[in-house]
Amino acid sequence: TVGAVAVDCTGNVACATSTGGIRNKMVGRVGDSPVIGAGGYADNFSGAVSCTGHGESILKVTLARHILSYMEQGKTAAEASELALQHMGVRVRGAGGAIVVSPSGQWAATFTTERMAWAAVEDSVLWYGLDPNE
Amino acid sequence: MAAVIVVHGGAWAIPEELSKASVDGVKAAAREGFSVLKRGGNALDAVESAVRAMEDNNMFNAGHGAALNSEGEVELDAIIMDGRTLASGAVSSVKNIANPVSLARAVMEKTDHVMLTSRGANMFAESIGVVTVPTDALVTEYERNEWEKHKNYITGVMEDFNTKAHD
């Protein structure tokens, strides 16, 4: 799965997610990626999210919208994504990751899997990582 | 305000031999998306551009390089959403499309619907002139080999979902 979130210079946010699913999936199986509120969500009121990980788990907790609901309660992008991913781990034992950006430009890349390749550009500065806590 | 773009290339147990190419791929996609923002483009154009870059990169499980289903076929899913209007478009189980994210955007902009699936998504693609590609063009040798290796062990793969294998 791949995804992107962005905020432009006028404060508008957007998200996109794209995937081939999981190897050997049943014909017709659809995971979280194309489902609004699960694989992605964007709202100028709270922010934009793109998710990756175990699709059925992400669907059950509507992960993207869950992260944004925490942000609407005042959590930072990093706190919100960590809390929502922890919730998914506890409730349905699913692992995954998310990238988040707020309308003010605050951002996070968080995951509970072994690794997630991510990159961000803020003010022309490139940030990137693969392993936890990078 | 300063524009920001963040991209991911999937959360899973990325093996060491794929790690450098994965990081290089997300860095290139982030730069591609940011170049759109830097030219004054909007957030929607930037995320589409960044995701297209990764769909075109064989390293990632989307577009070119996608995983194979139980019949050895490629079925692709994508979504795009505009936070300004809550407009959203998605496609699921679509075949022979190199850049599903752009087809999802067309669903958002050219139809009254939020998601089109399977044959309907492909019929819509054809109706708006989206070029199709042969399945083989989307499948890497690595993925074909991994699929051949694992196709008889679906139960094991399911049990391994949470530690190794993900969308």
Q: How far, in Å, CA of B159 to CA of B165, rounded?
A: 9
Going from the first residue of chain B to its last (167 residues), give the mean pLDDT of each consecutive group of 10, the final group possibly shorter: 96 94 98 97 98 97 95 96 98 98 98 98 98 94 88 57 60
Yes or no, beta carbons of B161 and A54 under 8 Å apart: yes
Interface of A with B in 99-118 (CB under 8 A): 99-101, 103-105, 107-109, 111-118
Which pLDDT belongs to residue B146?
87
How many percent of chain A have pLDDT more than 70? 100
B70 and A26: CB-CB below 8 Å?
yes
Q: Does A19 qualify as catalytic in the annotation?
A: no
Cα distances (angstroms) measured from residue B31 to each of A112, B5, B28: 25, 9, 5
List the single best residue of A7, A10, A15, A19 to mutate versus B (max B Cβ within 10 A): A19
Show residues of chain B in contact with A102, CB under 8 Å. Answer: none
B5 has a chain A CB within 8 A of its CB: yes
Under 8 Å between Cβ of A112 and A98: no
Average pLDDT, integer, range A57-78: 98
Distance, in Å, from the CA atom of B67 to the CA atom of B38, rounded to the nearest integer, reads 33
- Number of Cβ pairs closer than 8 Å across A and B? 340
Q: Does residue A68 belong to the interface with chain B, where contact is any CB pair within 8 Å?
A: no
- What count of Cα atoms within 13 Å lies in the side-chain half-sphere of residue A19? 31
Q: In chain A, what residues touch B116 (CB-CB under 8 Å)? A: none
Q: Do A22 and B29 lie within an 8 Å CB cutoff?
A: no
Helix (H, G, I), strand (E, B) or coil at B17: helix
Could you report the predicted ipTM of this complex, rounded to two decimals?
0.98
Question: What does the pLDDT read at residue B29?
Answer: 98
pLDDT confidence bin for A134, thresholds 50/70/90: confident
Confidence (pLDDT) at B164: 60
Q: Which chain B positions have a beta carbon within 8 Å of A121's beta carbon?
A: 4-5, 30-31, 33-34
User: Which stretches does DSSP call E strand in B19-114?
Assistant: 76-82, 87-94
A14 touches chain B (CB under 8 A): yes
How close, in Å, is residue B121 to chain A by CA atoms? 13
| Cβ count within 10 A of residue A56 | 16
pLDDT digits 0-9 by tens, A72-115: 999 999 999 999 999 999 999 999 999 999 999 999 999 999 99
Spatial neighbors of B20 by CB under 8 A, at least 6 apart, are: none
Please judge whether B31 and A121 are an interchain contact, meaning their C-beta atoms are less than 8 angstroms apart. yes
The one-letter code for the residue type at B85 is T
The b/e string for A82-104 (b: 16+ C-beta within 10 A; e otherwise) is bbbbebbbeeeebbbbbbbbbbe
Give the model's pLDDT for residue B150.
Answer: 77
The CA distance from B103 to the nearest CA of chain A, in Å, is 11
> Residue A128 and residue B81: Cβ atoms within 8 Å?
no
Interface contact B89, partner A, CB < 8 A: no
